[in-house]
Amino acid sequence: MRDHKVSYHRALLLHPSVRQEAIKGIEACEALLGPKAAVRIVQGLRTFPEQDALYAQGRTTPGPIVTNAKGGASLHNYGLAFDFALLYDRDNNGSYEQLSWSLTEDIDADKKKDWLEVVEFFETLGWGWGGRWKTKDNPHLEKGFGMTWREMLDKYNKGDFIKGTKYLNI
């Protein structure tokens, strides 16, 4: 059985304008990929302090550099991005325990790369893929509704939020 608890928990912290689309999109992609694959959201919303801590890594704290974005410079900070990976049930025992970042796997042998099937599905819904960036970020999908992160940060700093939340009015 595919277990969506982790993904749904993360999806429910995304911006309200993309939440249902992320959940429905994952289910639609799984239908495309067949019964041996599941789509997992590995990260969704990242708070400003979390982003700053990530930026510090490899610069002022130990570890490798993993991002060039400070707090506010990533769409994750607004709940408008998520990173995904694929889970495969290679043994056919229903456990989907093998997390995969392969861009080339084709588990259902439909001559389409699973990773790109997910990417292309979300692209048709207006999402952007980090795999098309100069510095590739293959797990990354985001939906900015035509706004840059600077415009989002400006709104954020003005407190232009959906009432009672820290999600931007967009």
Q: Which residues bind Zn ion (CB under 5 A)?
A: 83, 140
The nearest distance, CB 130 to Zn ion, in angstroms, is: 6
The nearest distance, CB 36 to Zn ion, in angstroms, is: 25
Backbone φ and ψ of 52, nearest 5°: -65, -40
Nearer Cβ to Zn ion (2/128): 128
Determine the Cα–Cα distance for residues 55 and 52; give it in Å rounded to an integer. 5
Place of tokens 């490798």: 64
Structure tokens that stand for 98 in this block: 């093998």
Q: Closest by alpha carbon to 101, among 51, 142, 137?
A: 137
Report the DSSP beta bridge partners of residue 82: 141
The nearest distance, CB 142 to Zn ion, in angstroms, is: 7
118 within 8 A of 39, measured Cβ to Cβ = yes
The nearest distance, CB 87 to Zn ion, in angstroms, is: 18
The nearest distance, CB 76 to Zn ion, in angstroms, is: 6
Looking at this protein, which amino acid is placed at residue 13? L
Nearer Cβ to Zn ion (83/117): 83
Report the DSSP beta bridge partners of residue 43: 83
In the complex, residue closest to Zn ion by CB: 140
Nearer Cβ to Zn ion (19/36): 19
Report the DSSP beta bridge partners of residue 36: none
Nearer Cβ to Zn ion (39/107): 39
Nearer Cβ to Zn ion (83/114): 83
Cα distances (Å, whole numbers) of residue 75 to 39, 82, 141, 168: 20, 9, 9, 11
